[in-house]
């Protein structure tokens, strides 16, 4: 496995932005960056062996700062939404920036996705480290986060998160890569299969209402696999609220620390496949409903709504305010540890 580091740009205050290119023996590669611990490219073969980049991203490093889509990056301290930007720990209420309608999203405007992380090559992978100070974006505790990427000879990109805090806090980490297994064009003809028989209904601001609902008999049913576009225009609350899919599914068979297959995505056109495995209880599927107007893409490409799909393995939205959900509380002396594997193939 070859790992090459390249200087990609600098922040206004002089911090170096790097790209790390991980290339296996077949020539397939994954490219990650210390800007938001991002996946900025994955070059994998189609059924004819032709390599293409299947990750939506931008031509310039600077475009990744503060972008609406959060392309390829690792948001935090809490991925997804927290209702009204408020939660309570041990009787104390914490207030977070509201940056998505009435709610807090992806850790706020200065979340982990908009930070330059420390980076290094280590033991055949790349590690990114970020230290989030007590009070940053309103969260309690000094939190140290490490995101580690490894790229295998079998074209599997493994992402492992670990985090420690010196005070009780809440943590929810994911990666927000957008996939298009044809390289470009609409993703609505991609097929998606989810290992999920329930999803989380939400209010119109995408905050979960509480208990999950069965997907059976609804447009949220991906258990047997169907195209993303088949039901996306149906008159259904979850689709009306987000102008497409932007919801969290409950992964069947979840057990803390155990890898489960969450999703399979494939394109009949290219033959490329993507299987997603995770230790986390949920997967947010977002069909790129608001990509219009985002920064210029690679090679000057203009992205449009539904040009890619994000498959975000994570804990459930608004978990700090929903005691029945798997806990996102991290206590001092404990280690947050979760994993996501993106396994690419062909069929």
Length of the chain: 347
Count the domains in the chain.
Answer: 1
In 251-308, DSSP assigns E strands to 260-266, 272-278, 282-286
The model's pLDDT over 4-40, given as tens digits with 9 standing for 90+, comes to 999 999 999 999 999 999 999 999 999 999 999 999 9
* C-alpha separations of 63 from 35, 59, 200 in Å: 11, 8, 32
Structural domain harbouring 153: 2-346
Number of other CB atoms surrounding residue 101 within 10 Å: 12
Query: What are 128-174's pLDDT values in tens digits?
Result: 999 999 999 999 999 999 999 999 999 999 999 999 999 999 999 99
pLDDT tens for 169-219 read 999 999 999 999 999 999 999 999 999 999 999 999 999 999 999 999 999
Q: Tell me what the pLDDT averaged over the chain comes to.
A: 97
The pTM (predicted TM-score) of the whole model is 0.98
Condensed to tens digits (0 to 9), the pLDDT of residues 246-268 reads 999 999 999 999 999 999 999 99
Q: Which of 106, 176, 190, 315 is catalytic?
A: 176
Query: Is residue 312 flagged as an active site residue?
Result: yes
- Quote the CA–CA distance of 104 and 221 in Å, as a whole number: 28
265-321 pLDDT, tens per residue?
999 999 999 999 999 999 999 999 999 999 999 999 999 999 999 999 999 999 999
Percent of the chain clearing pLDDT 70 (strictly above)? 100
Q: Residue 206: what pLDDT?
A: 98
Q: Give the pLDDT confidence of 138-148 residue by residue, as tens digits.
A: 999 999 999 99
Give the pLDDT score at 111: 98
Q: Which residues pair with 157 in a beta bridge?
A: 151, 342
pLDDT of residue 232: 98
Whole-number pLDDT of residue 121 = 97
| pLDDT attached to residue 306 | 98
With left for phi above 0 and alpha for psi between -120 and 50, is residue 66 left, alpha or beta? left
> Among the options 150, 264, 312, 338, which is catalytic?
312
User: Domain with 99 in it: what CATH number?
Assistant: 2.70.98.10
Separation in Å, CA 227 to CA 34, 156, 190, 222, 345 = 34, 23, 5, 9, 18
| 87 band by pLDDT with thresholds 50, 70 and 90 | very high
Distance CA 131, CA 122 (A): 19
């Amino acid at each position: 496995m070859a790992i090459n580091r390249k200087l990609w740009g600098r922040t206004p205050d002089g911090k170096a932005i790097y790209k790390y290119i991980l290339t296996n023996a077949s020539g397939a590669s994954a490219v990650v960056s210390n800007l938001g611990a991002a996946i900025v490219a994955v070059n994998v073969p189609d059924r004819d062996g032709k390599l293409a980049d299947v990750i939506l991203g931008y031509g310039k490093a600077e475009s990744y700062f503060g972008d609406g889509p959060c392309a390829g990056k690792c948001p935090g301290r809490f991925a997804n939404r927290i209702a009204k930007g408020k939660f309570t720990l041990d009787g104390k209420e914490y207030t977070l920036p509201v940056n998505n309608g009435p709610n807090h999203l992806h850790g706020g405007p200065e979340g982990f996705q908009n930070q330059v992380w420390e980076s290094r090559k280590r033991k055949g992978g790349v590690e990114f480290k970020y230290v989030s100070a007590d009070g940053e974006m309103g969260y309690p505790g000094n939190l140290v986060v490490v995101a580690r990427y490894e790229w295998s000879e079998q074209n599997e990109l493994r992402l492992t998160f670990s985090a420690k805090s010196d005070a009780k806090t809440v943590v929810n980490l994911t990666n927000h890569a957008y996939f298009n297994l044809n390289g470009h064009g609409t993703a609505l003809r991609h097929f998606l299969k989810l290992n999920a028989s329930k999803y989380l209904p939400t209010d119109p601001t995408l905050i979960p209402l509480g208990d999950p609902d069965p997907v059976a008999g609804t447009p949220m049913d991906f258990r047997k696999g169907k195209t993303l576009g088949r039901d996306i225009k149906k008159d259904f609350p979850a689709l009306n609220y987000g102008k497409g899919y932007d919801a969290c599914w409950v992964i069947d068979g979840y057990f803390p620390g155990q890898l489960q297959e969450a999703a399979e995505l494939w394109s009949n056109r290219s033959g490329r496949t993507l299987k997603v495995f995770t230790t986390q209880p949920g997967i947010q599927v977002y069909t790129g409903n608001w990509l219009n107007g985002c920064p210029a893409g690679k090679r000057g490409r203009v992205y449009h709504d539904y040009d890619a799909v994000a498959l975000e393995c994570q804990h459930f939205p608004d978990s700090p305010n929903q005691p029945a959900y798997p806990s996102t509380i991290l206590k001092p002396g404990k280690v947050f540890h979760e994993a996501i594997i993106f396994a690419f193939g062909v069929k």
